[in-house]
Amino acid sequence: MKFNGFVNVLCCKLVLIIYLADGKQMHEKDKHEPYNVDGVEGRSIELQCPITVPLYEVSMVLWFKDNAGIPLYSVDVRDRIGRQPAHWSAPEVFGSRAKFNIDKSPASLLIKNLKRHDQGIYRCRIDFRTIQTQTYRYNLSVIVLPEQPVVLDRWGRLMNGTKLGPKEEGDDVVITCRVSGGRPQPEVRWLINGVIVDDQYEQNSGDIIENRLLWPTIQRSDLNSIFTCQTMNTKLVEAKETSYVLDLHLKPLSVKIIDPPQALVAENRYEVSCRSWGSRPHAIITWYKGRREMTHTKDDTQNHNNTVSTLVFSPKIDDDGKNMTCRAENPAVKGWFLQTTWKMNVVYAPLVSIQLGSTLVADDIKEGDDVYFECHVKSNPSWKKLLWFHDDTLLLHNASARVIQTNQSLVLQKVVKQSAGYYACSAINGEGETVSNQQFLRVKHAPVCGHERVVLIGASKNENMEILCEIYADPPARSFHWRFNNSAEILDVDSHRYSNHGNFSVLQYIPVSEQDYGTLSCWASNEIGVQSEPCLFQIILADLPSPVTNCTLYNRTQQFAEIQCAPGYDGGLPQMFMLELVSKRTGTRRFNFSNKHEPYFMLDHLEKLTALMAAENNSLSCIVFAINQKGASRGVIIPNFEIGHVHPFQSASKHSTEWFPIALGALLTVIILALSISTKAYFGQCWLSCRPRSQADQQRNDVKITQQTKNIVISNDFECGTNCLKRKSTQTHNHQHQQQQQQHRSSLRKKNTSKDANEDEPDPDVIPAQFNMISSSPMISTPMLGSREKNDSYAFVNYSASSYYPNPIDLSNLSAGLGLDCPTASFVVGGHPVAMALESSGGSSGGGHHSGLALNGPIQQHPSATASSISSATAATGGSDLDINVIKDRLMTTRVPESCV
């Protein structure tokens, strides 16, 4: 056994020696150049060893490295028929990393995970059974890849991420690509958008290679460009790359205001848009009006570099001509912006102001001076028309009247006192009309009468009068002078008999005899001069008017009625006529009407008044009388005229039908009693009115009338025109006015020294007639009536003791008493009540006439009292109670100037 083992070993050694010898021989024989093969570290490679004969012809396959005689890998095919060949790999070389695939065509050795030390020359020897051995040689080069390249900025700092920048237009890009390791030495190059732009690299130190890129003056077009650092030392694998995307901050390319309106109306609301394009990131849009930043905006970014901003604003008048600026700027681009400007055209109504001429002194203008005004206008569009006003009256160009309009100036030549007042101008353009402020023009002038130059005053003997002489003067009057003139003499009035109060003077005057009736003259003076024409007051003897006569009722229907009377003697003064509707049940005056010219009255809407009276279980009678400033005449009842019906009161009950006969009988009884009582009262009143009465009777009737006026029902649903019933609105106003009169009643005092009068409280429920008499009378007395006709040379005014006021006199509450012979009246003078009682002086059987008027009221001084002219009165010739001869005798005995007669 030991011998057999020895033999086997010996055989093996012999075989090995033979193979070694043959291998050395073959090595020396096959010295051709090996095939160059490259492998990449860490990857796999195949070294081919083709077997061109059937496998059973192969004995062994051996792999050697360099000149080593010991194989590092072997495949034994001997005695392996029908079995897999035996593979062996030297553990210290490849181990499990290598495997020979003998079944592959061509057969090859697969080496996995190449190592750097795997590099070398490899030989593959194939031993055959019968043919000569074949050998293949390979020069294996193991390539070591470089590390991933890194990029440094210009300051050598490592760049992170994938963004290069952000940069601005015009900046330079300076970056360095650094690569470490690699065998063979790698290439390092820069690519922009895949195009090689720099392949000049240099070895820095050791195995570090760098490539520094300088890319100057980047443009908007370089945005999002890809800068790639690439390194490679073999084509077997892809190059290693590090890429960065260029980020840029871009300024706006354009800014534009989108369709701005051609014209803006002041104070209207508008929205204007501005678009900016080309900015990255999106632009910030700012609006400016002049230098003021506008804040009411709405921004809308449509995309990354397109921005729209909308401004909401209301233009003012002062914005006309100003620039509206839209500014777009990229906040990342410092100190740069793009803007566009739009000049606003704001249209508006004119702005107008008026000024007195700059060369004039406002307080030093007097009659005869030339004055001019300047109208300053600011408008868009320009004004088309300019108007001038004096106290709200339109002034027209009139050279003959010395009113001249030139462009924007108004010239008044030789101004007079009437030129004083407030002046204004107005301008008109397409947007409207504007009136300027008012400029007051003061014109100094000498005094002139503040009323009609000749004023007629009616007075009784021994009547205490306060005659008011009012003048207009600027500056105010310094002094007044009075003078009396009759047919016999001319006398200056002592200064202690009159008092001066600025622009008016009050004279205390009592006519005692016929010689005291004549003409009083009054004139004043101020720093400008003396009054050129004095104010004249014609004092005449006056009396109460006579009653109306021949009253006729015609055209009487349910809706309206007409009443016509004949006027009586007017007492020497202008007279007016009153109609009153008096309650038959209570005796109170309910409604009244007035007519300044004639005793004619038309009553309409009577159906409403009838329904009202029926609802009140009442009826009205109608009384007509005449009034002048001395008082009222006796009232005349219109016969056969009644408004409303008396209805007995009936209580409704559940069993009213059962009591109907009883109620009917009671109603008839009441009607009979009422008729008998009213008939008796009527005849009694007629009897009283037709007989002379004592003053005691007069006073008793006045007391009765005063008591009757305290219980009055006010209607609330009637409305009238000039000669018809009024609604409650008018009643309420007059009722409040009457209450004010009652509050002042206790302070009223009687001024008449010759006659007594009973105080008559005004009826607060009497609806006043629409007759207003203007009292600007110079006498502090009973207010005047009427106005002077244009063709008359005198104005006749009757006065009695009261007080003077410039305001209109309210005679709406003048009425006759129910006694018809003692009429009472109440005046409202300048807002103060004045009570009057008319006294009868007796008379013939036809009825007495009234000869006196006494007023109870405060005598107050009013600085603005004025005199109004009234129409000349003509005495009526008709009437049974009038004796023309007596009137003529009385006029002649008083020695009134013939012109006044």
| Strand ranges (E), 715-823 | 772-773, 795-798, 809-810
Quick: pLDDT tens for 269-326: 999 999 999 888 888 899 999 989 998 888 776 776 789 999 999 999 999 999 999 9
Reading the block at residue 125, the tokens are 């020897």
CB neighbour list of residue 446: distance below 8 Å, 6 or more residues apart: 367, 473, 525, 526, 528, 529, 530, 531, 532
Which residues fall within 8 angstroms of residue 310, CB to CB, at 6 or more apart?
Answer: 271, 272, 273, 274, 297, 298, 299, 300
**Residues linked to residue 289 through DSSP beta bridges, in sequence order:** 292, 324
The pLDDT of residue 483: 94
pLDDT in tens, 142-184: 999 999 999 999 999 999 999 998 999 899 999 999 999 999 9
- Give the Cα separation of 415 and 471 in Å (integer): 19
Distance between CA atoms of residues 303 and 159, nearest Å: 30
Q: Where are the beta strands (DSSP E) in 181-269?
A: 187-192, 195-198, 202-205, 208-215, 226-232, 240-249, 254-258, 264-265
Cα distances from 39 to residues 230, 233, 605, 752, in angstroms, run 21, 12, 131, 151
Does 39 have pLDDT greater than 90? yes
**Dist. CA 700–CA 705, nearest whole Å:** 9
Element holding 297 (H helix, E strand):
strand 297-303
Nearest-5° Cα angle at 693, 836 to 689: 80
**Cβ density class 240-278: b for 16+ within 10 Å, e for less:** bebebebebbbbbeebbbeebeeebebeeeeebbbbbbb
Pick left, alpha or beta for residue 616 (phi over 0 → left; psi -120 to 50 → alpha; otherwise beta): alpha
In the sheet that holds 120-128, the strands lie side by side as 35-40, 134-143, 120-128, 58-65, 73-76, 86-89
Mean pLDDT within 53-77: 89
Task: Select from 183, 214, 188 the least CA-distant residue to 201.
Answer: 188
The whole-number average pLDDT for the span 768-794 is: 34
For residue 333, the model assigns a pLDDT of 86
Q: What pLDDT sits at residue 685?
A: 57
pLDDT at position 684 is 57
Tell me if 155 sits within 8 A of 174, measured CB to CB.
Answer: no
Mean pLDDT of the region 792-819: 33
DSSP, collapsed to helix, strand or coil, labels residue 17 as helix
Give the count of alpha carbons within 13 A of 308, CB side only.
8
Query: CB count, 10 Å around CB of 510?
Result: 14
* Closest listed residue to residue 173, CA positions, set 228, 220, 217: 217
The bridge status of strand 371-380 relative to strand 409-412 is antiparallel
The residues near 618 (Cβ < 8 Å, ≥ 6 apart) are 583, 584, 585, 586, 644, 646, 713
What average pLDDT does the chain have? 75
Whether omega before 184 lies within 30 degrees of 0, making that bond cis, reads yes
How much is the pLDDT for 670? 86
Convert the pLDDT of each residue in 106-147 to its tens digit. Answer: 999 999 999 999 999 999 999 998 888 999 999 999 999 999
Which segments of 114-225 are extended strands (E)?
Answer: 120-128, 134-143, 150-152, 163-168, 173-180, 187-192, 195-198, 202-205, 208-215
Residue 450 to residue 501: CA distance in whole angstroms = 14
Token duo for residue 112: 């996995």
471-506 pLDDT, tens digit each: 999 999 999 999 999 888 899 999 999 999 989 999
Give me the mean pLDDT over the 22-50 stretch. Answer: 74
In the chain, % of residues over pLDDT 70: 69
* Span of 120-129, 323-332, 654-663, 818-827 with lowest mean pLDDT: 818-827
Omega cis (within 30) before 475: yes
Q: Please give the pLDDT value at position 645.
A: 61
Q: Does residue 212 surpass a pLDDT of 90?
A: yes
Asked if 289 and 267 touch (Cβ cutoff 8 Å), the reply is no
- What pLDDT sits at residue 683? 62
CA distance linking residue 402 with residue 608, whole number of Å: 58
Handedness of CA 882, 886, 889, 891 (dihedral sign): negative
Per-residue confidence (pLDDT) for residue 554, from 0 to 100: 85
Amino acid sitting at position 260: P
Lowest mean pLDDT among 137-141, 681-685, 748-752: 748-752
Reported confidence tier of residue 386, pLDDT bands at 50, 70, 90: very high
Please tell me the predicted confidence (pLDDT) of residue 99.
93
Query: Residue type at 233?
Result: N
Q: How confident is the model at residue 218 (pLDDT cuts 50, 70, 90)?
A: very high
Q: For residue 413, what pLDDT band results from cuts at 50, 70 and 90?
A: very high
Question: Does pTM surpass 0.75?
Answer: no
- 861-874 pLDDT per residue, tens: 333 333 333 233 33
pLDDT digits (tens, 9 = 90+) for 825-879: 333 333 333 333 333 333 333 333 333 333 333 333 333 333 333 233 333 333 3
Q: How far is CA 890 from the centre of its chain?
A: 72
What b/e string do you get for 582-593 counting C-beta neighbours within 10 Å, with b at 16 or more? bbbbbbbbbbbb
Q: Which residues contact 769 (CB under 8 A, 6 or more apart)?
A: 578, 579, 592, 593, 594, 811, 812
Measured in degrees and rounded to the nearest 5, phi and psi for residue 829 equal -110, 110
**Predicted local distance difference test score (pLDDT) of residue 445:** 92
Whether residue 649 is predicted with pLDDT greater than 90 in this model: the reply is no
- The tokens describing 716, both together, are 């609330």
Beta strands in 761-844, from DSSP E residues, in sequence order = 772-773, 795-798, 809-810, 824-829, 832-844
Q: 608-619 burial string, b = 16+ CB within 10 Å, else e?
A: bbbebbeebebb
- The lowest-confidence range among 298-307, 540-549, 802-811 is 802-811
Q: How far is the CA of 684 from the CAs of 184, 568, 588, 679, 688, in angstroms?
A: 158, 25, 18, 8, 6
